[in-house]
Structures are given as structure tokens and as C-alpha cells.
Amino acid sequence: MKPSLRAFLAVVVLAAPLALTAPAQAVNTLTMRGADVSSLQRSLDLGARYYNASGAQDDPYDILAAKGVNYLRLRIWNNPISGYNNKAKVLQQARTIKAKGFKLLIDFHYSDTWADPGKQYPPAAWAHHSLSQLQNDVYTYTHDVCTALKAQGTTPDAVQIGNEINVGMLWPAGQVVNNNFAPLASLLKQGYRATKACNSGTQVWIHTANADSNANARWFYDGIRAQGVTWDVTALSYYCMWHGSLANLYNVIADVKSRYGKPVVLAETAYQFTTANADHQGNAIPGTVLCDNIPATWAGQAQQFSWVQNTVRNAGGVGVFYWEPTWYAIRGNGWDPADINGTGNGWDNMAVFNWTGHVNPHVVWTP
């Protein structure tokens, strides 16, 4: 996700019904309590320091584990200019993640840069490939990354075939145009086949940012199902500024769970803890854009995250992932992989660590 390009869609959301937010007896357990830590290795390489809830300097992985996290997500770009989030760096970080006892989710963007609902640019090496060539590309690349991870003892527990692919991936060849899902389906099938050929136990997730409505979610997942696409987990993004109320989120999760008969995970969510900005890069989500009348404070961030977890749990979902909680403002770890040194961080008010690396003491991931 690179949410800055969608910031203009932000809206103020009405307060959520108490039934979805109150800590009533849980009817389901969140077995996947996740965090996307794709920027963390760069931060550590630049000397970032992290402090636990007691104020002591600590390993960021250990801090997240103490907060209840058991699953970590890494995006992978094919050949990013920054040199980060590529295959070599993912292999490096995966070793640390597995050594710390976390499960591992690999998020294939199939791009050299950000892929999200507004853009799905193929990597430069594939830019002029036909659909049939791209099918081979997806299979070969997915299998290569998965088998490299497996060979070093860090087999991924799950992979995403694409990132927020609301209207397809690897545009224009894999874009859904005039309700034609066949090209996209042919690519998704290759990703599934490659993953299972590498390791049959690795889950394949199909991830969209379609938590905004049943209509959009049904359009997409009905479309790929009709083309014979197989997947293991239905994954959604939910940012309350863009995707509506918690009541709406509940309805979408319950619907896709029932309709497709697969576990549902919220692969991305986050909330701001401040109205301020740490650097020269504008915040992707201004602190003044609030949801459920929750303030942009440490306590507010924790409250919203708790409400999201309760909603997912009560709707029958099995997991919630916070997007980039460790990405606080570190000079040189910028927003644009093509200018990682020159750009700032548009997520510094959304991280779970403040601008000095201290963790929000109130935020917890709960089963």
C-alpha cells in the first residue's frame, strides 16, 4: 500500500455501533496477529533505536512479540532502485523473523515499486511482455523466491499473489476491463501453482482493499471464482478514513466468509496517534481525519485498533495485521523507493512507535 495517492478520498466516519466495539464475550479467536515490518531492516541499518513500554531500548521484534504479535509480513519488489525489499533483503529479514519465532507472510507486489488499487506497474524487466509471458514470469518468480526462502529454512507460511489488486495486477495485461477477469485469473492461477509446487502447506492469499462494500468485494471475488481461481485466505485492507464504518467492515467480513467459505484476514489497518508531522514529507493521512470520534493520540490509536480487532473477531475473521508499525521517521528511509534518501516518511503519524522510537504503551494485539 502507498496510501498517499488515495488521501483525497478520506472522509470522516460516523461512530461505530457499540455492539461491534464493546469487549463482549469473543465468538472467535484471532490466530493471526500480524504486523507489516517491510521498512524495518532499512531503519535498523540506518541506526534506528526502539524502546519498549518501560522506556528501555529493546529489539523491535521482541517489543512486537511482547505486544501479542505472532505473524510478520514482508513486501517484495522485483528490482527496486532503493535496493531494499528485493529478494536478497527479504531473505535476510526472513531469517531474523523465523529465528524470533514468528510466522511469515510474503507480499508479492510483482512490481519494482508500490502496487495498490491506483497503480499496478509491472517490473521494468517485464514491461513489454505479453500476457502469456507474464504468466510464465509470475510462476517463475514466485517459485524462485519461495524456494530460496525454503532452502534457507524460512519457508513462508503464507504468500499474497498481488497487493490490493482491486482491479487486477500487472497492468494493462492483467487489469480487469469490462468485467473480464480471465487475464487476471490466468496470472493468479500461476501464482497459486508456483506456491504449492514450492510448498503445499503455504497458504495463498488473495488481497484487495475491498472492505468498503459487499458489492465491490463480491464483484472481485465472484469474478475470479467464476474463472476457476483457487485461494486459501480472503484478505482485505481496512483504513477507516477510506473504507467506511466498523459496522460496514463487519458486514463485508461476514459476507465474504460465508460466500467463499474461506478464512478472512485483515491484511492491513492503521490509525494515527498525532496531528503533527515529523519531517518534510506530508502525512498520507492527516491527523485531523478522524474516525468514530477517536482523537489522534496514543490512547486513541490503541482504542481504534482494539475496536477493529473486536469487529474482525466478532465477524468471524481470523487475523488482523497492522501496516508498518515500526516505520517511524528515520532520515534516509523515505517514502519513494526511487529516492529513498531524499524523500521523507508519510507514515510517521501512523506508526505504533513515536518519533523517538518509543512504542505506544496502550496498543496490543489480542486473540
Active site residues: 164, 268
Burial profile 96-124: b = 16 or more Cβ within 10 angstroms, e = fewer = bbbeeebbbbbbbbbbbbbbbbeebbbbe
Q: In sequence order, which ranges of the chain are alpha helices (DSSP H)?
A: 18-21, 40-45, 60-66, 87-99, 131-151, 182-198, 214-226, 240-243, 246-260, 298-315
Amino acid letter for position 302: A
How far lies 139's CA from each of 126, 129, 361, in Å? Answer: 13, 14, 43
Handedness of CA 54, 74, 338, 287 (dihedral sign): negative
Instruction: Classify the phi-psi angles of 112: left when phi > 0, otherwise alpha if psi is within -120 to 50, otherwise beta.
Output: alpha
CA distance 253 to 266: 9
Residue pair 346/329 in contact (Cβ under 8 Å)? The answer is no
Amino acid letter for position 69: V
Q: How far apart are the first and last CA of the chain?
A: 25
Handedness of CA 289, 293, 296, 298 (dihedral sign): negative
- Grid coordinates given for 51: 524502546
Q: 485531523: which residue's cell? A: 288
Instruction: Classify the phi-psi angles of 357: left when phi > 0, otherwise alpha if psi is within -120 to 50, otherwise beta.
Output: left
Handedness of CA 142, 199, 220, 224 (dihedral sign): positive
SS3 75: strand
